[in-house]
Amino acid sequence: MKKVYIKSYGCQMNVYDSGRMIDLLKPLGYEPQANYPGADIVILNTCHIREKADEKLFSDLGRIRPYQEEKSDSGRRMLVIVAGCVGQAQGGEIIKRTPYVDIVLGPQTYHRLPEMIARALRTVDGKGIVDTEFPLETKFDSLPEMSEGVGPSAFLSIQEGCDKFCTFCVVPYTRGAEFSRPVQDVLREAQSLADKGVKEITLLGQNVNAYHGIDPQGGKEWGLGRLLEKLSDIKGVERLRYMTSHPRDMDEDLILAHRDLPKVMPFLHLPVQSGSDRILEAMNRKHKAALYFEIIQKLREVRPDIALSSDFIVGFPGETEADFEATLNLVRDVKFHMAYSFKYSPRPGTPGSAMESQVPEEVKSERLSCLQDLLISHQIEVNQKMIGQRTSVLLDRQGKREGQYLGRNPYMQSVYVEANPRLWGQIVEVDITDAFQNSLTGKIVVEERVIEAA
Ligand code: SAH
Ligand code: SF4
Ligand code: F3S
């Protein structure tokens, strides 16, 4: 059996893509393995979003190289493949810098991986293959049925690419133009996941709520609200989530889905980036902070317990103390369940990187830690409030200790419990007994009844 090692560096879509690449290689006789030494194929599925993510690729390549040489000394080959968003952005440059890389491809061409591998294995002169096209055919039409990475909770990619061109972001360049998969394709894939025992589906897209897939009759376009309604009919799927959303695409249908569809979980990741209108404009987010507050208010009206999460960038060019204060105020007003925050990282080719008045690194660091302190204090407070409450948890991961399992409740909080292994993959009721910064612990209720039913 031949072995493939794959590493994901990026977002959930990047993780999803890694699973699909394994699905493509399995019929060719490749089995996944957990590390790169000895592998016949090493795939680095890269991320270009911030400088740090980018740099990891080259340090990893340096570490892998001796193993590739060792393999070639014994007359065999280790193909080294760079996939993902750095592959798309840098293409042939990667092979110039690290000539031992055999293949470079982007997120839109990985369905061609089998033929690229066949070509690479035929070449002896070590000349690298680069395929970073945005092909007319979509990869979704030629990917095999999903199997890799399918547990009780699975990702399903429904939308890709981005036309919004925020001035800090590389995604429109690395993933290409916005594209929504047809409703029929999404329903088919969701049903096949349900048939495999999947209980929770997270719909993925860079702008998932900009979804506008062609309907089953091939006439009209459906938005995400309508799609969620249809997905709610699938038996066995108990929970639906979606990410990542943009405030401008949070339409009425989608907000009402949180009221009308019990399977749609009361959680929303809605990045705002900044609380300052001036900075939002410079970022080309095309909305004001007021719109964000309006959406949150509407959501809380229809679903008062909804948990909110967001992304923030501090130190965008031109950000003043007053702008940063506006971000802190937004955070104080909304009180997020969780959030991701980053120092602005100038990305090659984006308008932001050419802007004057770049913010000094020390200021960025100061602001980041100030913002994170505030976010963490809210997160702890929200978690503490769960103590004594009953919540449902989908047990889909093993804890560190024997007999310990981990899962998410509807609000995306991580909950640790002691459980009988037979409960793995089930949704159980848990009484929360303790709370920490990033997780909760609790005790399973009515365990006997669930076991009897199982
Ligand atoms: N499509 C999503 C975000 C995708 S990128 C949206 O529109 O919100 C994920 C997150 O990375 C962003 O929300 C942003 O907070 C962060 N990010 C993107 N580019 C960045 C950059 N150049 N520097 C720092 N953070 C960045
Ligand atoms: Fe990037 Fe903006 Fe598109 Fe999100 S909406 S992927 S931040 S350009
Ligand atoms: Fe990174 Fe590409 Fe995702 S840049 S965040 S892997 S879309």
Average pLDDT, stretch 24-36?
Answer: 96
Pocket test for ligand 2, best of 14, 50, 166 (most atoms within 8 A of CB): 166
Whether 237 and 263 have beta carbons less than 8 Å apart is answered as yes
| Average pLDDT in the chain | 94
Shortest-distance Cα residue to atom 10 of ligand 1: 311
Cβ(207) – ligand 1 distance below 6 Å = yes
Q: Is the CB of 10 under 6 A from ligand 1?
A: no
Report d(CA 61, CA 48) in Å as an integer: 16
Q: What is the pLDDT of residues 403-452, one digit of tens each?
A: 999 999 999 999 999 999 999 999 999 999 999 999 999 999 964 555 55
Contact by Cβ (8 Å): 204, 12: yes
- Indicate whether residue 207 lines ligand 2 (CB < 6 A): yes
Q: How far apart are the first and last CA of the chain?
A: 36
Longest dimension (CA), the chain: 66
User: What's the per-residue H, E or C state across 303-348?
Assistant: CCCCEEEEEEEECCCCCCHHHHHHHHHHHHHHCCCEEEEEECCCCC
* pLDDT range class, residue 125, cuts 50, 70, 90: low
Is the minimum distance from the CB of 341 to ligand 1 under 6 angstroms? no
Q: Find the 32 Cα to ligand 2 centroid distance in Å.
A: 32
Nearest CA to ligand 2 atom 1: 169
Q: How far is the CA of 218 from the centre of ligand 3 (A)?
A: 31
- Say whether 85 counts as a known binding-site residue: yes
Q: Which ligand is nearest to the CA of 166?
A: 2
- Residue 344 one-letter amino acid: Y
Q: How far is CA 71 from the centre of its chain?
A: 34
pLDDT of residue 448: 52
Over residues 379-395, the pLDDT tens digits come to 999 999 999 999 999 99
Does pLDDT of 137 surpass 90?
A: no
Ligand 2 atom with the smallest distance to the CA of 172 is 8
> Is 150's pLDDT higher than 90?
no
- For 293, half-sphere exposure in the C-beta direction (CA atoms, 13 angstrom radius) is 13
Cα 163 to averaged position of ligand 1 atoms, centre (Å): 14
Residue 162 labeled ligand binder: yes
HSE at residue 248, side-chain half, CA atoms within 13 A, is 11
Ligand 2 pocket test: pick from 11, 14, 162 the residue with the most ligand atoms within 8 Å of its Cβ.
162
Q: What atom in ligand 3 is closest to the CA of residue 88?
A: 2
Token couple for 128: 């690298």
As a whole number of angstroms, the distance between CA 136 and CA 142 comes to 12
The pLDDT-based confidence of 186 (bands split at 50, 70, 90) is very high
Report how far ligand 3's centroid is from the alpha carbon of 42 (Å): 19
Question: How close is the Cα of 49 to the center of ligand 1, in Å?
Answer: 7
Is 124's pLDDT higher than 80? Answer: no
pLDDT score of 449: 53
Closest CA to 227 of 238, 248, 243, 211: 211
Q: Which residues have any ligand 3 atom within 6 Å of their CB?
A: 10-11, 13-14, 47-49, 84-85, 170-171, 174-175
Q: Is 126's pLDDT higher than 80? A: no
* Tokens of residue 354, six digits: 């050419």
Whole-angstrom distance, CA of residue 153 vs CA of residue 202: 8
Which residue is it, tokens 């911030």?
50
Domains of the chain: 2-131 (3.40.50.12160), 139-384 (3.80.30.20), 390-444 (2.40.50.140)
Instruction: Give the number of the atom of ligand 1 that is nearest the alpha carbon of residue 164.
Output: 7
Give dist(CA 150, CA 198) in Å, integer: 7
Q: What is the pLDDT of residue 450?
A: 52
Q: What does the pLDDT read at residue 140?
A: 87
Peptide bond between residue 123 and the one before it cis (omega within 30 degrees of 0): no
The DSSP bridge pattern shows strands 390-398 and 267-269 to be: unpaired
**370 labelled binding-site residue:** no
Residue 453 has pLDDT above 60, yes or no: no
**Counting Cβ atoms within 10 Å, is residue 363 exposed (0-12), middle (13-18) or buried (19+)?**
middle
Whose atoms come closest to the Cα of 87: which ligand? 3
> Does 454 score more than 60 pLDDT?
no
Calculate how far, in angstroms, residue 194's C-alpha sits from the geometric centre of ligand 1: 31
b/e map of 320-331 (b: 16 or more CB within 10 Å)? eeebbebbeebb
Q: Mutate which of 246, 291, 313, 371 to test ligand 1's pocket (most atoms within 8 Å of Cβ)?
A: 313
| pLDDT computed for residue 47 by the predictor | 96
Q: Is the pLDDT of residue 373 over 90?
A: yes
Residues 282-338: tens digit of each pLDDT: 999 999 999 999 999 999 999 999 999 999 999 999 999 999 999 999 999 999 999
> Residue 450 Cα, ligand 3 centroid: separation in angstroms?
40
Closest ligand relative to 11 C-alpha? 3
Assess whether the C-beta atom of 164 lies below 6 angstroms from ligand 2.
yes
Q: CB pairs under 8 A, 24+ apart, for 446-453?
A: 447/419, 447/420, 447/423, 450/423, 450/426, 451/420, 451/422, 451/423
Q: Model pTM?
A: 0.94
Is the pLDDT at 149 greater than 90, yes or no? no
Supply 331's token pair: 């955070």
Q: Which ligand neighbours the alpha carbon of 48 most closely?
A: 3
The whole-angstrom separation of Cα 286 and Cα 283 is: 8
Q: How far apart are CA 364 and CA 361, in angstroms?
A: 5
pLDDT in tens, 339-365: 999 999 999 999 999 999 999 999 999
- Does the annotation flag 169 for ligand binding? yes
Phi, psi of 59 (to 5 degrees): -70, -35
* pLDDT bucket at 135, cuts 50 / 70 / 90: confident
Given a cut of 70, is residue 249 above it in pLDDT? yes
